Structure 1
Amino acid sequence: MPHDHAIQCLHDPLLVVLSYLVSVLGSFTALQLAIAIPAAQSASQRRGAIVAAGAAMGGGAIWAMHFIAMLACKMDIAVSYDLALTALSAVIGMASCMAGLAIAGTGVFGWSKLVAAGVFMGLGVTGMHYTGMAAMLMPADTHYNMALVGASGAIAIVASIVALWLAFNLRGRLQMLGSALVMGVAVCGMHYTGMQAASFVPNGAGDGVVAGGLSVANLGMGVFAVTTVLLAAMLSLSLLRQRQRAMVQI
């Protein structure tokens, strides 16, 4: 239900575009790494590939995109972020993606397993988003339109099913890039639908920063640093593995 005195969230277009590009890069990196899952020759190799691809998807394409998009939201009140809940949201995002990849990539790949893994992963991604929303510390209360909350969850599940199918069926780099562009749209669609579901209503506690939170500036620097290191390392690892396989085949 809309609130007459709800605070408007005005998005910075440059940060919105950046959030999309980060999601695309994370998706592309995850797809590159996911190649190693069906090709793994041992259980330890499979686990390593699942952890790497899940971290790139959950940490880069989803979590980092989420918080860059949160930074894009400009409001007339000061906002900071609870460090524990922010960290928890990252864990939920990466763990759910790893679990989805593990479920879909175990045994014979089939549609029933794909859908089950996608539902699990999508619910985890939705949990990540709303845990990240709960991390906001501000002199306002958050109210949700449950129809839009449900829509954001449905988008997350569909996007997860698509991501898992792509992870186990694509091989060409151009195919992966095109798929990553589509995945970026899906992930951003989930996030911004979830943001539309939220109304922020002042609670009379003033307009200062709530004590004990992580400032927007520090959060931005942290997200940028973590995203850059994580995705650069994983993309380098993926390209190195592909080069090694090509040399073995020669």
Structure 2
Amino acid sequence: MQEMHQHYNAVLVVLSYVVSVLGSFTALQFALGISRAENPGQRWVAVLAAGTAMGGGAIWAMHFIAMIACNMGVQVTYDVVLTAISALLAIVACSIGLAVVSVGAVGWLNLLFAGVLMGLGVAGMHYLGMAAMLTSAQISYDGGFVVLSVVIAIVASMAALWLAFNLRGRLQMLGSALVMGVAVCGMHYTGMSAVDMAMGDTLPAGFAQGLSGDYLGMVVFGVVVVLLALALGLNIVRQQRRAALTI
């Protein structure tokens, strides 16, 4: 079988990092509301908002845009159902991690437990997203790189959870978001390094119905950035109103 090589669209690679940073910063802003919640309802709203920004924006959108950035030399579309489930998995995993850590003091034991849960969810999202690829290429994985990508996902998740409950200043959050973006991208591209592809002959069932398009990566980036920016803006306005009421 003829071995295939990956080539990346540099613009989409940069955009995948940008959306990861914006998603991380938005999640850190929403995480402020978890510790400030006055009742369980407010706490769960804050947890889900931060989990959605982190899982959907910082992690899944980064992953999907970076997948589209990868040119494998063959036609590729993406199964709609599996792609949607992978996004939901990332959001649920991040929300569970935030919920676990937010119970009581942030100790190393619950941080480790939550980080493992969230990291496994993030890694699961990545490989489920890979399974959503519909292409004639035959895909296999290097076990060593797969394990390394899971370890990176767990460590990055622990760092993200610690930062979510230990940062307050926006400049600190911005710096942390830049670092988190590197960690998320590191996990993704390590996972992509685990992939071995060989030329195949047959397109899978459902190929024609899969997600595709020359500008799909740009569209996903634009939609997610607009949603994150709106959510971030509304949250900042709400924080300012609360601060004004306490004066």
Q: TM-score, normalised by structure 1?
A: 0.94
**Cα root mean square deviation, aligned:** 1.7
CA distance in 2, matches of 1:170, 1:182: 14
Tell me, yes or no, if structure 1 residue 224 matches structure 2 residue 221: yes
Note if contact 2:19-2:221 (Cα within 8 Å) is conserved in structure 1. Answer: no
CA distance in 2, matches of 1:219, 1:128: 19
1:82 to 79, 91, 103: 79
Give 1:222 shift.
5.2
> For structure 1, which runs of at least 5 residues remain unmatched after alignment?
none
Match of 1:141 in 2: 138
Q: How does 1:205-220 map to 2 (within 5 A)?
A: 205=202, 210-217=207-214, 219-220=216-217
Note if contact 1:71-1:216 (Cα within 8 Å) is conserved in structure 2. Answer: no
Tell me, yes or no, if structure 1 residue 164 matches structure 2 residue 161: yes
Give 1:186 shift.
0.1
**4+ aligned runs moved over 6 Å, structure 1:** none
Note if contact 2:134-2:203 (Cα within 8 Å) is conserved in structure 1. Answer: no
Note if contact 1:27-1:57 (Cα within 8 Å) is conserved in structure 2. Answer: yes
Give 1:210 shift.
2.8
Q: Which residue identity does 1:63 align to in structure 2?
A: W
Q: How does 1:46-125 map to 2 (within 5 A)?
A: 46-125=43-122
Amino-acid identity (%): 58
Structure 1, residues 189-234: CA drift from partner, whole Å, max 9, x if none? 0000000101121222269x93321114474365235413431232
Aligned residue pairs, count: 246
Task: Return closer, same or farther for 1:226/1:95 CA change in 2, 3 Å cut-off.
Answer: farther
Q: Which residue identity does 1:92 align to in structure 2?
A: L
Give 1:55 shift.
0.2
Q: TM-score, normalised by structure 2?
A: 0.95
Match of 2:123 in 1: 126
Structure 1, residues 82-121: CA drift from partner, whole Å, max 9, x if none? 0000000000000000000000001232110011000000
Note if contact 1:77-1:139 (Cα within 8 Å) is conserved in structure 2. Answer: yes
Note if contact 2:77-2:134 (Cα within 8 Å) is conserved in structure 1. Answer: yes
CA distance in 1, matches of 2:93, 2:52: 10
> For structure 2, which runs of at least 5 residues remain unmatched after alignment?
none
CA distance in 2, matches of 1:92, 1:203: 30
SS in 2 for 1:57: helix
